[in-house]
Amino acid sequence: MPVLHINGVALTYREVGDRNKRTLVLLHTVLWSADVFDHLIATLAKDFHIIDIDLHGHGQSGYRTPLRIEEMAADYHQFLTQLGLSKVTWIGYSLGSMIGMNMALRYPDLFHSLVLIATNARRDETQLGKQTQQLWDLFRAGHREDIVEPALQLFFARATYAQQPQLVEQYRRAAISFQDVEGIYQAAMAAAARSDVMDQLGAIRAKTLIIAGREDVTSTPAEAEEIAARIPDAQVAIVEDTSHLLMVEKPQEVVQIIREFLK
C-alpha cells in the first residue's frame, strides 16, 4: 500500500482509476476502516480517479498525540499537494467530513466539491456526547465486549438489525477484535474536541452535498439540514431506515445519491 510521510506521520492510501479523470478523495469515519467505501469505489472507479486514505490511527496510518482536526486538515492538505492534486471532490465520512469542512474553509482552492456524510459542525455537549465519551474510554481500556452492544446501537438503524442481522454481526465481531486501539481512540478524541464551525460555513464556496441517516442520533438529520442552510446552494439528502453507518446499511442508495450529485 502506498504511503506518504507528512509532518512525521505515515499516511497510507489506495489509488484507483485513471489520473487523467476527475479525482475523488475519500476519508472515512472513526473506528471503521476505509473499506466502508468499497461499494462506492467499485461503482465509480471506471469514471473517476479515486484516492482512499486511511484516517490517522487507522489501518496502517500513523498518528500523533494528541490529534486535532486542524492539524489533521493541514496534513491532508500537504498530502494532496505532494500528490499534485487540486480541484478534487472530497468525500468525507463523519470525522472525514469534519476535516473536509475545515479544509474547505482554510484551503478553498483545493476543492471542486464536497460530499459530507454523517457530519457535525457543532460541538457535542449533550448528555449523549458524555455517554459516548464513556464508551470510548471503556473501549480504550479493553472492555470492548462489554460496550459493543450500546456502541452498535449508535451505528445501525432498527431496520438494519431486523433485515440485515449478518451485517450487524460482522461489525460486532470487528469491534471486539481490535488489538492496538490507541490511534483509533486519539482520532475519536479529535472528533469530540472539534471546534464549532457552524457560523463559518457561509464562507465555503465548493459545491456541497450533505447526507445523513434518518435515525442517526450522533450526526442528526436536523444538523445536516442546518449545515446545508449555511453553505451557499448546498444540497441535503436524508436516507430512510439508516443511522451513522448508512454507507454500509444502504450502499446502493447512498452511492446513487452521490453519483447524481457528481453529474
Report which of 60, 10, 65 is spatially closest to residue 33, judged by C-alpha positions: 60
Domains in the chain, number: 1
Q: What is the DSSP string of 9-52?
A: EEEEEEEES-TTSPEEEEE--SSS-GGGGHHHHHHHTTTSEEEE
Domain that holds residue 226: 3-262
202 three-state secondary structure: helix
CATH of the domain at 208: 3.40.50.1820
Beta bridge partner(s), residue 248: none
Residue 246: closest CA among 263, 258, 234, 235: 258
Is residue 197 classed as helix, strand or coil in its secondary structure?
coil
Indicate whether this model's pTM tops 0.85.
Answer: yes
Per-residue pLDDT, 126:
78
Dump pLDDT digits (tens) for 100-159. Answer: 999 999 999 999 999 999 999 998 877 888 899 999 999 999 999 999 999 999 999 999
